[in-house]
Structure 1
């Protein structure tokens, strides 16, 4: 009986620590500032270490305007929910590749409370492969395309539960 209790408590402690290291150690995200966002996700937290949606792992076929191939990474906040709407603080990073599988750009969706309520509060950014901001904010072309999936919180490649 005592051994079972110790094993059960050990499992609880290990689970709690795993949760803390996966979701609790996320860096503090900035407001709607593309340069500051890149400094957190591109430099400090190295988004390539984030997870991926279970139904969209690795390099996948893509389409315009993102390119023929892409890889998507999602931070812990976004992966912690499988329901619409995704929580504030969710960051989705899409690496866009050429037909030759060369990185051409990096596009980001970042959910910021109160940023753009009309469009589910998504902040959009496009970076060069080196992290230079090419466009950011309430990007009309991003909103127009992704609004086709407004019922899925503007997420195109992964089905969320309603």
Structure 2
């Protein structure tokens, strides 16, 4: 098998459509959590909080819902005003049922560096990269004399000086 034939399309849109159907079939209200800082996201700016937006995508809440392999589009009312919404599939962080919270947080696509530019006026163009976790070596200053962890601030031990300097 060649490298070209091994490349597959993204599984994200298929997961989204399947989970949407599962949530709706169970009489629940499907919601999408979207990274509004991603390129191509078109949502009402006033509804964005901390770079994210939660969208109710239930049949009764939207009109003309289209879930393609690249884009989710629909019209919805925000503050009583009908507006068009367009969300690239890669900007969807999770899909879940409002009533139970059941659903799925979608994994990042491998090699998905695209789209941390804002598609919304007023949001920063250089959104910070997502933090990653890594092991940190133990600090000798936080260990007791036997090499074990320090027992807290009341435990006896060497006192460290502050790193700030008083300037008058």
TM-score past 0.5 threshold:
no
Q: How does the TM-score come out when normalised to structure 1?
A: 0.26
Q: What's the TM-score, normalizing by structure 2?
A: 0.26
Question: Which is higher, the Rg of structure 1 or of structure 2?
Answer: 2
Structure number with greater CO (CA < 8 Å, separation at least 6) is: 2
Whichever structure has more helix as a proportion of its residues is 1
